Structure 1
């Protein structure tokens, strides 16, 4: 890549009922547009009933509108057809992109055979309740410590060469009618072409979503764990990426044993030291995570995160085991679709 002719970037932001978010997420991108760091800022209004489209246009973005409400994958696909940049930089409507994003994207894309790159959330999420901070910081934790070469993709703040995106067919919106793992599945197809996918820790954005235990459970199980497990089982099995690494599987096993030891106490009271030993084992196995969480909220915050994280491991592993049973015993080998209710 010549420094005189840098790769051009089209920012793509799918938006639905995002009028309240645009005053925070659009200004950094419009500034990049005004200074020539990016070539376009495309906001794709997914048939919002609020004033998303009008406000985005007023703020300086180019606004596209989907013919029907089809979710962020369909919105991104539409933008890819209209984009003029060499690179499609996907930024969610609840993410404030850091201003140095284009530099990190171009540097990553200048390496040989790189088709895509993605980053992480920053360390200052908007939601300040302990659980919301845990969820956003956990996402950051995995992406910041991931191997540099990935086989998946993340569309919250990630970029793909436009020609590669069009070559592989974009997001699969027929299988994934609602937002779930369409970006992960897209990464599998990009990797299958032989292109490299890089994780760039310096490519960051601030997440504005506020998590609760209720919406987290629904998202984790039905929009992440179930479709991702089915995808992995039907394609290539467990990968060693992000939160499916071998180390993560070992931690999940400890969490499962901890739960079983607690369930055994009513019929085996004399086994009370076992849960304590397993909790200590969980602490040691997750010490890096505990330290990271403690650095952002203190020891009590870190301890609450550790305890809930054991619950997370148990339901995630349970979902994967169910999907193995579903696939190999029940023979439901094509049950991949994530549909609207």
Structure 2
């Protein structure tokens, strides 16, 4: 069984059972990832589709490497690991940024760099694949970042603030009906406040960005600038260029206008932005998101989070049982929101989940201790 793509340093002797098991696992994972990329490509068009199909072809090359090493010991096809199977299932049904973020994480987990049986080329491929998928996911992350920020912040704030409120009031020893009423009042007041605050915040940020955009009237003014004074250079200098570079850039733009004979103004994208002649909306608007969308997301997710610690009291529970169930439900929700943020940001879901849990329970515990200090006890 001659391995035709043997990695440098790999043993030339017959493979061990452990090696064969590992190669078969790699083979299964490569097949699963290639299938996931093909499924994602089926939901795309144009350049994105071509890129995803190229990634699937690359995984096919890696698959062939393990087939060559295994020879007649390939055996029955193995399923990919759990994460690869989850990625494949999601890719078959969805095609959004969440699936691309999972694919990015899958590429980042590659151990080919430490495995002597994988070639250096394969290890380098996996690192580049991670960057390719990161780039594909980048625009989707930008589109959703404004609303997503509001949703995560709203859900987390609703979970933590209402749990802290319910535990603090409950620890003071008041009646269960008072705790329930306080929790519902906190839900409504907080959701309205969050929605209104998010609308004002995003709207104000968009207005600030709009004020920083170049004036459209600058396009009409360009043909009439004094070629000797060249005021356009001041625009470039005000936007960060050095004096000589700005003068050269402005002279080039005005020279192009002279060649056009005063006709339609055609500028490169970077010159258009600097000279105030651009018509494309700046990318920051897409990142900030819609004010109304962010407000609705914040309201709904705050209310959704805030109802969780109130649920035990709505079910008629009281005392320590209600406190324990409310804390447990909020803990699960905090872990879920933290893990979701981790996946979408391309970082470790476990670390983000535990961080979210620690912050939320820390705030709730502080309020609960204050309730104990100023009240009596939980009935």
For the aligned pair, the TM-score class normalised by the smaller chain equals: under 0.3
Q: Which has the higher contact order (CA 8 A, sep 6+)?
A: 2
Give TM-score, length-normalised by structure 1: 0.27
Q: Which protein is richer in strand relative to its size?
A: 1
Q: Which has the larger radius of gyration?
A: 2
Give TM-score, length-normalised by structure 2: 0.25
Q: Which protein is richer in helix relative to its size?
A: 2
